[in-house]
């Protein structure tokens, strides 16, 4: 009975302490709202989207052609061996005239240039569309050189694809043999052979090689039929409608539009984000209880109340339980209110088995209260309360996954360290109950068992320290 009186007394004192209640209740709610507004979209984006490699494309091939370009596109018709020979003498060459174009086989030069311009724009856009549909790529289009430089500065670890001005000129010089002997013909230099370059500020040979090969595959997939139609009359005459899109009036069939990357997720997606944010910060702030609990014990010690309780006709265990239970009750109320807040404010789901949340809440609060008892028995000054408790709580929250999911941690050591915190097991159970359509009870039971083991260890250690304190 004496222990219950101590509990009631401490509950009344806690309820009168507005600052303590604000830390326990109002501050977690404020954090959940602020974190959700600032990084909610990051958590709302699906796992598949987060795993995609960001790639920027800066495409600026020349597509407004004149008679001079005909000589570059078809050197042989103008008496040159290849494009390199034209480039070598171009500074000293006279401009191509309409008569010279007709003599070289271009009776309708203006119409032919118009057709080539159309194909350049159409097929360049087709290549970018194909890349946007490539699994694992998250494509962002860049419209200027300055923007590409800014993107590289802000995305040091990612890849920029630059399609140069000479892209289409080099494409026009390809023929069917270059497609059949890809490692020996004009494409043997890879993407650079058609004035496409991959740029990245950090060296990652494996990644860059994979990106290069995938981009080259898409480029050849798009350009292959066009090059065959342009260079082989036999193919053009035997392939039915294959070459039809490359005439003036033809168009390539549309691609299926890629799913847009949602930078401002919908309310429904943000609600999914709160399934991580609400439990994560709830568990973190549940363990901030140790701060208030230690300060309460220290205050009673300084006021002499704790000494009088020790001299009262009460068993030491009754005094310890009476001093501990109020914080357990406050912790339970805090957790339940935060979950209700998440449901009412953000529509956060409680999962298919909401009643199973209650034992997880209870064992989490029990572990937090046990840790609070240990800290209360160790600290001797108010400054030690602030330094010890805040350091322990923040470090455990950071390692365990309250702030960043363990799966996002690059360090395997940190992921293993998270297993040594009660926070991890609490989040493990909450994650299973809130996310899975059919929660696996074995995971929930295992997590609750580990939380109970943490609580038992903390309470046993706290009671030993309590008795030592009484003895001194």
Q: Of 246, 274, 301, which residue sits at a domain end? A: 246
Tokens linked to 124: 């360049």
Question: Each residue of 23-56: pLDDT tens digit?
Answer: 667 777 777 777 766 655 555 555 455 567 888 9
Please, which residues have CB within 8 angstroms of residue 204's CB and are 6 or more apart in sequence? Answer: 157
Per-residue confidence at 268, pLDDT binned at 50, 70, 90? very low
Q: Using DSSP bridges, classify how beta strands 137-142 and 53-59 pair: parallel, antiparallel or unpaired.
A: parallel
pLDDT at 273 (0 to 100): 64
Contact 339, 357 (CB under 8 A): yes
Query: Does 233 reside within a domain?
Result: yes
Lowest mean pLDDT among 7-21, 164-178, 454-468: 7-21
Q: Of 182, 211, 246, which residue sits at a domain end? A: 246
Query: Does 253 reside within a domain?
Result: no
Query: Does 251 reside within a domain?
Result: no
Question: Each residue of 422-458: pLDDT tens digit?
Answer: 988 998 888 888 877 788 888 889 999 999 999 999 8
- At residue 334, does pLDDT exceed 60? yes
Same domain for 90 and 190, yes or no, is yes
The rounded percent of the chain whose pLDDT value lies above 70 is 78
Residue 89 CA to residue 248 CA, distance in Å, equals: 32
- At residue 314, does pLDDT exceed 50? yes
pLDDT at 206 (0 to 100): 83
Residue 343 CA to residue 271 CA, distance in Å, equals: 9
Report the chain's mean pLDDT, rounded to a whole number. 79
Mean pLDDT of 107-119: 88
Please state, in angstroms and as integers, the Cα–Cα distance from residue 229 to each residue in 81, 202, 235, following that order. 21, 40, 6
Query: Does 388 reside within a domain?
Result: yes
Per-residue confidence at 315, pLDDT binned at 50, 70, 90? low
31-34 contacts, C-beta under 8 A, 24 or more apart: 31/281, 31/285, 32/274, 32/277, 32/278, 32/281, 32/282, 32/338, 32/341, 32/342, 33/345
The dihedral built from the CA positions of residue 356, 359, 363 and 364, taken in this order, carries a sign that is positive
pLDDT at 470 (0 to 100): 58
Domain tally for the chain?
A: 2
Same domain for 180 and 242, yes or no, is yes
Query: Does 252 reside within a domain?
Result: no
Q: Using DSSP bridges, classify how beta strands 53-59 and 196-199 pair: parallel, antiparallel or unpaired.
A: unpaired
- At residue 329, does pLDDT exceed 70? yes
Provide the domain limits for residue 128: 52-246
Query: Does 254 reside within a domain?
Result: no
Same domain for 356 and 423, yes or no, is yes
- At residue 167, does pLDDT exceed 80? yes
CB environment 150-187: b (16+ within 10 A), e (fewer): ebbeebeebbbbbbbebbbbbbbbbebebbeeeeeebb
Query: Does 378 reside within a domain?
Result: yes
Per-residue confidence at 263, pLDDT binned at 50, 70, 90? very low
Same domain for 56 and 36, yes or no, is no
Same domain for 26 and 84, yes or no, is no
Q: Of 214, 246, 278, which residue sits at a domain end? A: 246
Same domain for 40 and 100, yes or no, is no
Same domain for 32 and 61, yes or no, is no
As to burial, measured by CB atoms within 10 angstroms (0-12 exposed, 13-18 middle, 19+ buried), residue 348 is buried
Same domain for 345 and 412, yes or no, is yes
Same domain for 79 and 13, yes or no, is no
Query: Does 8 reside within a domain?
Result: yes
Which is higher by pLDDT, 443 or 271? 443
Same domain for 38 and 95, yes or no, is no
Same domain for 150 and 93, yes or no, is yes
Same domain for 323 and 445, yes or no, is yes
């Amino acid at each position: 009975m004496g222990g219950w009186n101590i509990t009631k007394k401490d509950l009344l004192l806690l309820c009168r302490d507005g600052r303590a209640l604000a830390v326990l209740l109002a501050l977690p709610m404020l954090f959940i709202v602020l974190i959700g507004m600032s990084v909610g979209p990051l958590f709302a984006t699906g796992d598949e989207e987060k795993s995609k490699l960001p790639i920027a494309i800066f495409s600026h091939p020349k597509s407004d052609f004149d008679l001079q370009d005909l000589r570059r596109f078809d050197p042989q018709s103008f008496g040159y061996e290849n494009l390199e020979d034209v480039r070598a003498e171009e500074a000293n060459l006279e401009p191509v005239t309409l008569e010279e174009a007709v003599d070289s086989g271009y009776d309708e030069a203006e119409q032919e240039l118009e057709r080539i311009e159309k194909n350049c724009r159409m097929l360049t856009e087709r290549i970018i569309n194909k890349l946007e549909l490539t699994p694992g790529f998250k494509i962002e289009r860049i419209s200027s050189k300055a923007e590409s430089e800014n993107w590289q500065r802000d995305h040091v670890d990612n890849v920029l694809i630059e399609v140069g001005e000479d892209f289409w000129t080099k494409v026009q010089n390809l023929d069917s043999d270059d497609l059949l002997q890809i490692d020996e013909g004009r494409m043997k230099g890879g993407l650079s052979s058609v004035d496409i370059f991959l740029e990245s500020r950090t060296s990652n040979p494996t990644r860059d090689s994979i990106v290069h090969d995938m981009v080259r595959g898409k480029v050849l997939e798009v350009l292959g039929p066009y090059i065959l139609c342009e260079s082989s009359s036999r193919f053009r005459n035997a392939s039915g409608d294959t070459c039809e899109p490359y005439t003036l009036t033809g168009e390539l069939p549309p691609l299926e539009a890629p799913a847009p990357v949602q930078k401002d997720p919908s309310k429904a997606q943000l609600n999914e984000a709160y399934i991580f944010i609400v439990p994560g910060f709830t568990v973190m702030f549940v363990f901030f209880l140790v701060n208030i609990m230690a300060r309460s014990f220290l205050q009673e010690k300084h006021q002499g109340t704790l000494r009088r309780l020790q001299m009262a006709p009460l068993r030491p265990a009754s005094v310890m339980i009476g001093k501990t239970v109020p914080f357990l009750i406050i912790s339970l109320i805090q957790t339940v209110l935060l979950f209700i807040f998440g449901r009412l404010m953000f529509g956060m789901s409680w999962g298919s088995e909401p009643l199973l949340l209650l034992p997880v809440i209870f064992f989490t609060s029990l572990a937090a209260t046990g840790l609070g008892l240990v800290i209360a028995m160790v600290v001797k000054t108010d400054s030690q309360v602030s330094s010890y408790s805040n350091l322990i709580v923040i470090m455990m929250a950071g390692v365990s996954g309250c702030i960043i999911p363990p799966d996002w941690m690059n360090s395997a050591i940190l992921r293993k360290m998270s297993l040594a915190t009660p926070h991890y097991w609490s989040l493990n159970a909450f994650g299973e109950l809130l996310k899975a359509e059919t929660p696996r009870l074995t995971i929930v039971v295992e997590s609750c068992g580990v939380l109970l083991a943490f609580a038992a260890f903390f309470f046993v250690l706290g009671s030993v320290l309590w008795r030592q304190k009484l003895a001194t």
